[in-house]
C-alpha cells in the first residue's frame, strides 16, 4: 500500500517551511545573499552539501561557481525537483550558470537536466561539462586561480585525488575547490567530527593564510587552543589540521559583514519548468561520511557545545524558524521572549541593510502553516504570548500587511513596505541617524519592556544609585549619571528606538557594536576561549573564568543567610531569591 502523493506532499511541506524559515537549520551564504534551508534536504540532494552541513550551520559557497540568483534556482530545484528557468533571452546563459553551479554542488540530476537543456537549445558543446571530470575540471581551474591568489605556502594542501578516482567522492569536489582561504570539506566523516567540542577542534576552517575579509572581526584571539570554528576566523588558525568541513562556512561567514546583506535580485519570470523525473536518485552513496561521530567528550558540557550554540539552536528553533526567507534574504526573526538571540526582540531591520523582518508569523497569511508550526512557537508563545509587542522595534505594526504581501521589504523604523530590496535600501538611506533617536511617546514604536525592566532592576545599584558627585554627566531621559561623556552617550543609545547595529544573519539590532559582534560570534559558533582542562569553549573570556571554577572547585560566593557557597555569583543571586521570595 502506498500513498500516491506522499513524497510530493512532503516536499511541498518542506518547501513551504523553507519559505518561512521554519526549522531551517542551515544558512547558505552566496555572495551577499543568505539562504536558509534544511540540512537534511541539502544532504539528501548532494554529497557535497552533505559534507558541508555535517558540521556547519553556515555554508559559504564559492561565488565563482554560483551566484545568488542561480543558487536560488538551485535551491528551488532541490526542494521541488523542478527547474524554474527564466524565460528571457539569457536562458542559455542561465542554464550554463546553473550547470556550473550544479556541477560544483554535485547536484548530478540538476546538472544532467541543464546539460540536456543546453544541448537541446544550442547543440553546441557544453561549457565545462565534459562528462567525467566535468565539474571537477572546472573546479580545478577555479582552484588554481584561487590558490594562486593566496600565498603559496606549504599549506597548499590538496590531497591527491582519492584513489578511487572515478567515484565521486564526497569531498572530491571540495578538495578541488579548496584553496588556502577556503575550507575544507570534510572528507570522511571521521575527522571532523569531533569537532566541535573540544577536543578536536575541528571544524576547521581552514582559513589559513588568507584571512577572509570580515567586515566585522568576529574572531577573538583564542588564547588557547586551536582549530575550532572559532579559530577559523582568526588569522592564524591552523587550517591544515582540519581538512574538515564545515568550517568553510564559518570562515567565510566572515563575509557576512555589513555589506553582505544585500538581496539577490529576484529572478522572476519563469517560463518553463523542467521536472526531474528520476527524482528518486539521491546521493546517498557514501554513507560513511555522514554520520557524525558521536560527540566525543561526553561530558555534559561537551555535549552542550555541539552544534549551534545551544541557545542559539533553541533560539532559531523557537523564534527564528519562522522567519521567512525571501529571495535569499532572511526576513525577520519572529519575536518571542526577550532572551533569544535573534528572535527575541524581533527587530530586525538594519537601517543599512536589507533585512526585513517578519514579526511572529504574520498572523495569518498562511493559516495552514500555523498548524504545522504550532510547535514552533511553543517556546515563545508560551512565554511571550506571541507577543510581538513585547519587543522593541516591532517589526509588524498593527496596520502592517503580512510580510508576504506585495511589499516584502519593510523598513522597521517607519513601517513602509517596498517591493524590492533595492527600493527599501534606497528608502532606508533617507533615514538619518538623528531620526533614530527616540521620539518618546507618540512614536510608532513601543519602548522595549525588557529594557525598562532592566533599567528598573538595575536602578538601585546602577550609577544613579551612587552618589552622582563624581558623575557629572547626566542622562536627560532617565537621569542616570556617568563619569564621562562617552559613557553617557553610550548609555543614551539605550533610549533609542532604533538600534544602529544589526546582525547580518538574523537581523536583530543592537545599540552597541560590541554587543552585536558578540552576538554574531554566537551565530558562527565562534568560541575563542577554551578551557584547558576540559576543552570546553566559550564566547566570552568571562565565561571561561567563571567556568574554570568548576574545575578548581572554588566557590567564592557565599550566602550570608545560610552559608551556602556558589561558584557563580549569578547562582548565588538565584539562590538568594529562594530566601527572599517565600514562594
Partner DNA sequence: CTGGGGATGGGGCCC
Partner DNA sequence: CGGGCCCCATCCCCA
Q: Which of residues 511-540 bind DNA (CB under 7 A)?
A: 511-515, 517-519, 522, 527, 536, 538-540
Whole-number minimum distance, CB 566 to DNA, in Å? 4
Say whether residue 305 binds DNA (CB under 7 A).
yes
Quick note: the x/- pattern for DNA over 16-45, rule CB under 7 A, is: ------------------------------
85 three-state secondary structure:
strand
Which residues between 277 and 296 bind DNA (CB under 7 A)? none
Which residues between 418 and 457 bind DNA (CB under 7 A)? 450-451, 453-455, 457
C-beta closer to DNA: residue 145 or 579: 579
Whole-number minimum distance, CB 61 to DNA, in Å? 24
Contact of 355 with 348, CB cutoff 8 Å = yes
Say whether residue 51 binds DNA (CB under 7 A).
no
Whole-number minimum distance, CB 377 to DNA, in Å? 12
Whole-number minimum distance, CB 352 to DNA, in Å? 15
- How many angstroms separate the CA atoms of 249 and 245, rounded? 8
Give the residue among 161, 164, 163 at the shortest CA–CA distance from 174. 161
Which residues between 177 and 236 bind DNA (CB under 7 A)? 217, 220
C-beta closer to DNA: residue 309 or 324: 309
Q: Which stretch binds DNA (CB under 7 A): 156-164, 237-245, 432-440, 508-516?
A: 508-516
C-beta closer to DNA: residue 105 or 246: 246
In this structure, how many other beta carbons lie within 10 angstroms of the beta carbon of residue 205?
A: 37
Whole-number minimum distance, CB 316 to DNA, in Å? 10
CA distance from start to end of the chain: 57
C-beta closer to DNA: residue 3 or 461: 461
Quick note: the x/- pattern for DNA over 372-391, rule CB under 7 A, is: -------x---x--------
Site size toward DNA (CB under 7 A) is 79
Helix ranges (DSSP H) in 282-329:
300-305, 310-315
Q: Which stretch binds DNA (CB under 7 A): 24-32, 169-177, 405-413, 549-557?
A: 549-557
C-beta closer to DNA: residue 93 or 479: 479
Backbone angles phi, psi at 478, to 5 degrees: -120, 0
Give the residue among 22, 104, 13 at the shortest CA–CA distance from 343. 22
- How many angstroms separate the CA atoms of 459 and 481, rounded? 11
Which residue do the cell numbers 566523516 mark? 189
As a three-state string, the secondary structure of 461-496 is: CCHHHCCCCCCCEECCCCCCEECCHHHHHHHHHCCC
Q: For DNA, which residue of 186, 463, 502, 535 counts as binding (CB under 7 A)?
A: 463
Whole-number minimum distance, CB 378 to DNA, in Å? 10
Q: For DNA, which residue of 541, 556, 558, 561 counts as binding (CB under 7 A)?
A: 541
Q: For DNA, which residue of 128, 293, 462, 500 counts as binding (CB under 7 A)?
A: 462
Give the residue among 76, 135, 137, 79 at the shortest CA–CA distance from 104. 135
Q: Write b or e for each residue in 382-404: b if 16 or more Cβ atoms lie within 10 A of its Cβ, otherwise e.
A: ebbebbbbbbbbbbbbeebebbb
Whole-number minimum distance, CB 348 to DNA, in Å? 12
C-beta closer to DNA: residue 397 or 487: 487
CA torsion, points 396, 431, 419, 502, in degrees to nearest 10?
Answer: -60
Give the residue among 387, 328, 318, 327 at the shortest CA–CA distance from 359. 387
Which residues between 125 and 154 bind DNA (CB under 7 A)? none
Whole-number minimum distance, CB 49 to DNA, in Å? 24
Whole-number minimum distance, CB 213 to DNA, in Å? 14
Whole-number minimum distance, CB 272 to DNA, in Å? 43
Which residues between 90 and 119 bind DNA (CB under 7 A)? none
- How many angstroms separate the CA atoms of 31 and 329, rounded? 12
Q: Strand 417-418 to strand 409-410: parallel, antiparallel, or no bridges (unpaired)?
A: antiparallel
C-beta closer to DNA: residue 17 or 481: 481
Q: Is the dihedral of CA 303, 305, 310, 316 positive or negative?
A: negative
C-beta closer to DNA: residue 135 or 197: 197
Whole-number minimum distance, CB 408 to DNA, in Å? 24
Whole-number minimum distance, CB 560 to DNA, in Å? 13
Which residues between 306 and 365 bind DNA (CB under 7 A)? 309-312, 314-315, 337-342, 344-345
Q: Which stretch binds DNA (CB under 7 A): 64-72, 169-177, 366-374, 475-483?
A: 475-483
DSSP 267-294: P----EEEE-S-TT------GGGTSPPP
Backbone angles phi, psi at 410, to 5 degrees: -110, 135
- How many angstroms separate the CA atoms of 46 and 574, rounded? 48
- How many angstroms separate the CA atoms of 459 and 471, rounded? 15
CA torsion, points 291, 292, 298, 300, in degrees to nearest 10?
Answer: -120
Which residues between 476 and 495 bind DNA (CB under 7 A)? 480, 482-483, 486-487, 490-491, 493-494
Amino acid at each position: 500500500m502506498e500513498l500516491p502523493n506522499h513524497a510530493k506532499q512532503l516536499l511541498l511541506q518542506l518547501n513551504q517551511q523553507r519559505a518561512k524559515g521554519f526549522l531551517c537549520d542551515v544558512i547558505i551564504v552566496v555572495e551577499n545573499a543568505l539562504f536558509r534551508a534544511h540540512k537534511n534536504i541539502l544532504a539528501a540532494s548532494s554529497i557535497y552539501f552533505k559534507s558541508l552541513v555535517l558540521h556547519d550551520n553556515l555554508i559559504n559557497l564559492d561565488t565563482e561557481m554560483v551566484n545568488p540568483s542561480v543558487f536560488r534556482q538551485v535551491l528551488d530545484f532541490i526542494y521541488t525537483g523542478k527547474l524554474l528557468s527564466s524565460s528571457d533571452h539569457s536562458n542559455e546563459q542561465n542554464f550554463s550558470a546553473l550547470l556550473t553551479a550544479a556541477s560544483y554542488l554535485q547536484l548530478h540530476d540538476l546538472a544532467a537536466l541543464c546539460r540536456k537543456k543546453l544541448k537541446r537549445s544550442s547543440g553546441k558543446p557544453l561549457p565545462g561539462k565534459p562528462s567525467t571530470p566535468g565539474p571537477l575540471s572546472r573546479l580545478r581551474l577555479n582552484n588554481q586561480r584561487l590558490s594562486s591568489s593566496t600565498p603559496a605556502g606549504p599549506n597548499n594542501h590538496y590531497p591527491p585525488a582519492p584513489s578511487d578516482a572515478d567515484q565521486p567522492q564526497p569531498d572530491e569536489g571540495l578538495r578541488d575547490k579548496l584553496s588556502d582561504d577556503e575550507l575544507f570539506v570534510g572528507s570522511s566523516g571521521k575527522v571532523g567530527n569531533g569537532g566541535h567540542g573540544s577536543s578536536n577542534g575541528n571544524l576547521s576552517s581552514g582559513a589559513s593564510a588568507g584571512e577572509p575579509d570580515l567586515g566585522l572581526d568576529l574572531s577573538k584571539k583564542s588564547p588557547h587552543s586551536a582549530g575550532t570554528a572559532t579559530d577559523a576566523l582568526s588569522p592564524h588558525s591552523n587550517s591544515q589540521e582540519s581538512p574538515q568541513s564545515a568550517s568553510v562556512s564559518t570562515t567565510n561567514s566572515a563575509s557576512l559583514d555589513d555589506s553582505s546583506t544585500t538581496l539577490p535580485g529576484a529572478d522572476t519570470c519563469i517560463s518553463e519548468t523542467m521536472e526531474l523525473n528520476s527524482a528518486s536518485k539521491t546521493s546517498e552513496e557514501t554513507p560513511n561520511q555522514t554520520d557524525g561521530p558521536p560527540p566525543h567528550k561526553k561530558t555534559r558540557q561537551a555535549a552542550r557545545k555541539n552544534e549551534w550554540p545551544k541557545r542559539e539552536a533553541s533560539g532559531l528553533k523557537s523564534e527564528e524558524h519562522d522567519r521567512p526567507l525571501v529571495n535569499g534574504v532572511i526576513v525577520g526573526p519572529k519575536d518571542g521572549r526577550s532572551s533569544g538571540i535573534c528572535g527575541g526582540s524581533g527587530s530586525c531591520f538594519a537601517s543599512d541593510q536589507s533585512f526585513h523582518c517578519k514579526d511572529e508569523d504574520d498572523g495569518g497569511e498562511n493559516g495552514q502553516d500555523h498548524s504545522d508550526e504550532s510547535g514552533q512557537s511553543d517556546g515563545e508563545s508560551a512565554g511571550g504570548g506571541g507577543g510581538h509587542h513585547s519587543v522593541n522595534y516591532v517589526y509588524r505594526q498593527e496596520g502592517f500587511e503580512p510580510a508576504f504581501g506585495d511589499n516584502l521589504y519593510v523598513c522597521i523604523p517607519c513601517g513602509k513596505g517596498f517591493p524590492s530590496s533595492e527600493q527599501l535600501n534606497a528608502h532606508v538611506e533617507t533615514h538619518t541617524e538623528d531620526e533614530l533617536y527616540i521620539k518618546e511617546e507618540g512614536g510608532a514604536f513601543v519602548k522595549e519592556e525588557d529594557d525598562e525592566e532592566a533599567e528598573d532592576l538595575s536602578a538601585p545599584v546602577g550609577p544613579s544609585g551612587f552618589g552622582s558627585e563624581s558623575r557629572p554627566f547626566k542622562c536627560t531621559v532617565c537621569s542616570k549619571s556617568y563619569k564621562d561623556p562617552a559613557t553617557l552617550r553610550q548609555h543614551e543609545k539605550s533610549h533609542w528606538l532604533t538600534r544602529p547595529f544589526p546582525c547580518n544573519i538574523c537581523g536583530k539590532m543592537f545599540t552597541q557594536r560590541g554587543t552585536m559582534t558578540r552576538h554574531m560570534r554566537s551565530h558562527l559558533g565562534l568560541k575563542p576561549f577554551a578551557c584547558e582542562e576540559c576543552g570546553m569553549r566559550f564566547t566570552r573570556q568571562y565565561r571561561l573564568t567563571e567556568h574554570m571554577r568548576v574545575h578548581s572547585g572554588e566557590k567564592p560566593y557565599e550566602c550570608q543567610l545560610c552559608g551556602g557557597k556558589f561558584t557563580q555569583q549569578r547562582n548565588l543571586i538565584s539562590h538568594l531569591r529562594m530566601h527572599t521570595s517565600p514562594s
